[in-house]
Amino acid sequence: MSHKNIILLLGGASSERAISKSSSKGIYNALIANGYKVTPVDPAYGSLQPDDAEAFFGKEDLFPVSYKNYIDAVKLPAFDNTDLVFLGLHGRYGEDGMIQSLLELRGVRYTGSGVLSSALSWDKAYSKMVFNDKGVQTAPGFSAHKNMYPLEVIIEKIKGTIGFPAIVKPNDEGSTFGFSLISKESEVAAAVENAYKYSENALFEKFIPGREITVGILNGMVLPVLEIRPKHEIYDYECKYTSGMSEYLVPAPIPDDVALKVQEQAIKAFYSLGCKTYARIDFRLDPDYNSYCLEINTLPGMTPTSLLPKMAAVVGISYEELVKRIVEAS
């Protein structure tokens, strides 16, 4: 059966609302170009939805935005006769299994991974446990609830287990919100405070010098490795979302055997968490070509210039074809 009626879920109430709108504009145009009937729905608006499709993608919020509105949104009659929900959401309640569980309860199909694999991928500490168990190498580190250790214990743990420089970040947040790279003891307090603004759990990892690389997976096919060369030492928010702040090289200029090994790690990571359809797996590659898996993005950015479309383009899959394949596989 060809999917005719598609709901595009976009926006949402997370810190990545603007990014989701940007991704979803590209998805919307590609779905229309593929001949699907598309109904945009912003779950953060609840039962109040704009009449005009273009209004969904504007910068201005037309109605009050809240997580509490998600249940009302999923109860809309549009969900009664849809063939598929395309998830254009990013961040909390979009990638973490929450919206997936509401859609499961509603009895509708959706793109991307299921409830458990979305939740596991979103929780960096739990995904690291699974990765390490399944032979996917990750950076040494530890996680801590905000009420677990006093600051001096955290400092001792950093010095004793990972050393400086170190990465401190929220355990469950996207787009490098709350992220810090610290090089000395005096910087720990501010970094910890910053991470706990975004999550009750923080992740502390050894900083891996080297290169930022990523691998896309599409319906079981492993896409070419892409290297990100940010203008800053770390691929931070500014480098991710500011034009000209990063250079993208695909295929990555690394030896073939290294690329193959990274791709093997990527597919292992993907299946170890039970992911489905498509995802993007991020790594650090040290100067000796050892790869360290950072995380899985179960709903990767999908603007026409995002990383997954760049990787797909190298193997001859256009943006519209990529969106079509995601729909058909879902």
- pLDDT per residue over 298-307, tens digit each? 999 998 889 9
**Ordered domains of the chain (ranges, CATH):** 5-110 (3.40.50.20), 120-136+209-329 (3.30.470.20), 141-206 (3.30.1490.20)
| Known active-site residue 175 | yes
Catalytic hit among 295, 306, 319, 330: 295
Q: Report residue 15 as tokens.
A: 């810190």
Mean pLDDT by groups of 10 residues along the chain of 330 residues: 83 93 96 97 98 94 96 97 96 95 98 98 95 97 95 96 95 80 95 94 96 96 95 76 86 98 98 98 97 96 91 97 96
Task: Provide the pLDDT for residue 1.
Answer: 43
Catalytic hit among 12, 46, 141, 301: 301
CA distances from 328 to 34, 109, 111, 276, 324 (A): 11, 11, 9, 13, 6
Question: Is the distance from CB of 310 to CB of 246 less than 8 angstroms?
Answer: no
| Known active-site residue 16 | yes
Task: Write out pLDDT tens, residues 56-82.
Answer: 999 999 999 999 999 999 999 999 999
Catalytic hit among 16, 42, 172, 173: 16
| Known active-site residue 12 | no
Q: What is the pTM of this model?
A: 0.93
| Known active-site residue 241 | yes
Q: Report residue 53 as tokens.
A: 């499709």
Task: Provide the pLDDT for residue 111.
Answer: 98
Catalytic hit among 101, 175, 194, 318: 175
φ/ψ region of 258 (left if φ > 0, alpha if ψ in -120 to 50, else beta) reads alpha
Catalytic hit among 297, 306, 319, 330: 297
Catalytic hit among 282, 284, 291, 330: 282
Alpha carbons within 13 A on the beta-carbon side of 266: 29
| Known active-site residue 286 | no
Task: Provide the pLDDT for residue 151.
Answer: 94
Task: Provide the pLDDT for residue 173.
Answer: 76
